[in-house]
Amino acid sequence: MDANPIVLDDAAGDVVVVVVEGEHDIYTAPTLRERLDEALGRGGGVVVDLTAATFVDSSILGALLDARRRAQEQARGFVVSVGAEVEPGVQRILDITGLVPVLPVIDGREAAISAARDGVSGSPG
C-alpha cells in the first residue's frame, strides 16, 4: 500500500480533484506532475486537495505553479484546497512563500471545487 498516495477524484464531474495525502517531496513530485497532467487533460477545472497532506516541499510547489500556469493559459479554474486544520509541514511553506493568494489556496474541498468551476485560478501573480 502506498503511504503517500496521489489519486484523481472525478466525482464532481466537470472539476477533477487531485487528492494528495502524506509526505511529498522530490521523490513523489514526478508522480504529482503526471497526475496534474492527467487532470488538466480532462478539460475542466482542477482542484488539488492538500487536506490530508502532512508535508510538501519546494519541488511540490514547483509542480503546482507549473500546473496553475497551464490552467491559466487555457482559461481553466485551478485551486488548491486545505482542511480546517493544516499540518505545519504544509501551512508554513504556503505562508512564508506568499503563495496562498497566488495558487490560490482555499479552505475546504467543496468551496475549492465551486471556485475552480467558476474559473478561479489565483491572482495574476
Q: What is the DSSP letter of 77?
A: -
Q: Find the shortest distance in angstroms from Cβ 40 to other proteins.
A: 16
As a whole number of angstroms, the distance between CA 26 and CA 32 comes to: 10
Comparing CA positions, the residue from 120, 116, 101 lying closest to residue 39 is 116
Which string of x and - marks every residue 88-117 that binds other proteins (by CB under 8 A)? xx--xx--xxxx--x---------------
25/107 with CB nearer other proteins? 25
Comparing CA positions, the residue from 66, 53, 68, 61 lying closest to residue 26 is 61
Segment lying near other proteins (by CB under 8 A), choices 24-32, 44-52, 78-86, 106-114: 24-32
* Cross-strand pairs, 22: 53
59/108 with CB nearer other proteins? 59
Query: Which of 58, 74, 111, 118 is close enough to bind other proteins by CB under 8 A?
Result: 58
Comparing CA positions, the residue from 57, 47, 67, 59 lying closest to residue 109 is 47
Per CB under 8 A, contacts with other proteins among 3-22 are none
Q: What is the C-alpha end-to-end distance of the chain, expressed in Å?
A: 38
The residue type at 84 = A
Q: What residues make contact with other proteins under the rule CB under 8 A?
A: 23, 25-27, 29, 33, 55, 57-59, 61-63, 65-66, 69, 87-89, 92-93, 96-99, 102, 124-125
